[in-house]
Amino acid sequence: MRVLGIDCGTQYTGYGVIELSPSGDLLCLTCGAIKLPARQPLPTKLSTIFSSLSLIISDHHPDEVAIEDVFYAVNVKSAFKLGQVRGVAMLAASSAGLTVAEYAPLSVKSAVVGYGRAEKHQVQHMVQKLLKLSELPEPPDAADALAIAICHLHTAATLRSQGVAM
């Protein structure tokens, strides 16, 4: 199974494609972040995110997509912008015929680090260990996207072993 994890953001949108090999090893195929200029209008940012994610999907052919679920934000305006980015990420996936799974930040951190309130650097280090990477995944948004994909692979495997359809 191959999963594209997406960490949505209005400045950086992280992405990571992970494959679960038949032997059970996790393999990182690609990761990075889509950098969005701060002064760029939001519609242009959304178009860039859609185009970039569509290209990643076309290049790496994931079976499924996983993104971080909505979290509560103090700033309503920022929350709306993040919601728009999430919508565009879902649109890129669904336009390619892929299903999208959503995971709460606490669930992602628990699945990867074992502690739902883990710090960003702890997530980076565990992602590096789990994927046997020679260096920390950078930027942190890429590590978060990889963590979301790892969470999905672990969740999917558990549900399959219990005979639950996703």
Give residue-wise pLDDT tens across range 65-80.
999 987 666 688 888 8
pLDDT for residue 73: 63
Q: Is residue 56 part of a domain?
A: yes
Q: For the chain, how many structural domains are there in total?
A: 1
Question: Which CATH number covers residue 139?
Answer: 3.30.420.10
Q: How far apart are the first and last CA of the chain?
A: 14
Q: Is residue 131 part of a domain?
A: yes
Q: Is residue 34 part of a domain?
A: yes
Q: Is residue 157 part of a domain?
A: yes
DSSP code per residue over 47-112 = HHHHHHHHHHHHHH--SEEEEEPP---S-HHHHHHHHHHHHHHHHHHHHTT-EEEEE-HHHHHHHH
Q: Is residue 151 part of a domain?
A: yes
Expressed as residue numbers, the domain containing 73 is 2-161
Q: pTM of the entire structure? A: 0.93
Residues with a catalytic annotation lie at 7, 68, 141
**Per-residue pLDDT for 133 more than 60?**
yes
Q: Is residue 166 part of a domain?
A: no
DSSP class of residue 23? T
Q: Is residue 96 part of a domain?
A: yes
Distance CA 40, CA 58 (A): 26
Tokens of 37: 């200029």
Give residue-wise pLDDT tens across range 85-123.
999 999 999 999 999 999 999 999 999 999 888 888 999
Give residue-wise pLDDT tens across range 4-48.
999 999 899 999 999 999 998 999 999 999 999 989 999 999 999
138 within 8 A of 129, measured Cβ to Cβ: no
Q: Is residue 77 part of a domain?
A: yes
